[in-house]
Amino acid sequence: MPRRAAWIEPHPEGIYLPGADAWIDPSVPKPRALVTHGHADHARGGHGAVLATAETLAIMATRYGPQNGQALGYGETIALDGITARFMPAGHVLGSAQIVLEHEGERVVVSGDYKRRPDPTCAPFEPVPCDIFVTEATFALPVFRHPDTGSEMDRLLAALHANPDRCVLVGAYALGKAQRVIAELRARGHGTPIFIHGALQRLCDLYEEFGVELGPLLPATGVKAAEMRGHIVMAPPSALNDRWSRRLPDPITAMASGWMRIRQRARQRNVELPLVVSDHADWDELTKTLTEIAPAEVWVTHGREDALVHWCMTRQIRARALELAGREDEDD
């Protein structure tokens, strides 16, 4: 019996479409790449041509320089030598997309990274029924059940208001997480300036250019410590315990990440206020998505593949783990 969707091939460096000579999220430069979103473990520089959303192309240009890119809007279809492709929202970060591929009556959805809960900085995930669903598994263990995002923001604001002589230093991934935390705080009425590390400036500016309002942001560098008392300071996780942070006014060190569910990770980073805020689907959202989409087969990428493959098999869904290179547990 021929395998399902023989026209699409998983390889260590990415998912390959031989008929179109195109790759999805390749980890090395390729002549033609379809890119789901701008995180570095999915979007690499040096491709001959890139198909992605306008937002993802702008993120790649910010990080790697100008791209030979073709922008596709959500729902727009393009023909690739007998294969049709369209990009649908993934709800992960600004411009993130699922890539819906159709050929000879079969449909494959490569989801990239995704989440199901609301995010004021990007379009929400849209489920697409398909024959094969390629899913991430970053948090694919039952222990990972993310709390309500609003309650985590309330904890952050409570710590800020209870310590007016200190600042709260929040470590957040530079693309997506930092902007989401800022927007969530604004939605909860925190309108005062937020100080940001210089490494966040370009991407915050880009989000603003695409219509995501982040409110007043001020550079944290070159500011006297006294001026940051009673304020939130945002920085990439790498800056939480380096020389840059030592000049801050007695900071309460926080970090926004799905990995903050694991206490040992919080302790390793000397995090006083762990905030469980993730841009990936948790266990319940992953299994809900598979139930909703009802694919005949599931391909599982980077993360806790075994648990999700087992869940599928117990429900008579064919499943396999893909060994894709270069997929990392980012700071989420």
- Kindly report the average pLDDT of the chain as a whole number: 95
pLDDT at 83 (0 to 100): 97
How far is 78 from 68, CA to CA, in rounded Å? 17
- Give the percent of the chain with pLDDT over 90: 91
Model pTM? 0.95
**Cα three-residue angle 201-205-207, rounded to 5 degrees:** 120
Name the band, by pLDDT with cuts 50, 70 and 90, for residue 330.
low
Q: CB neighbours of 326 closer than 8 A, spacing ≥ 6?
A: 13, 27, 41
pLDDT at 331 (0 to 100): 58
pLDDT at 1 (0 to 100): 41
How far is 230 from 131, CA to CA, in rounded Å? 53
**Contact assessment for residue 100 and residue 37, using Cβ atoms and an 8 Å cutoff:** no
Alpha helices in the chain (DSSP H): 54-64, 149-162, 177-187, 198-209, 263-268, 283-293, 305-313
Mean pLDDT of the 128-132 span:
97
Mean pLDDT of the 168-182 span:
98
pLDDT at 60 (0 to 100): 98
Mean pLDDT of the 265-279 span:
93
Residue 210 has pLDDT above 50, yes or no: yes
Read off the tokens for 164.
């007016």
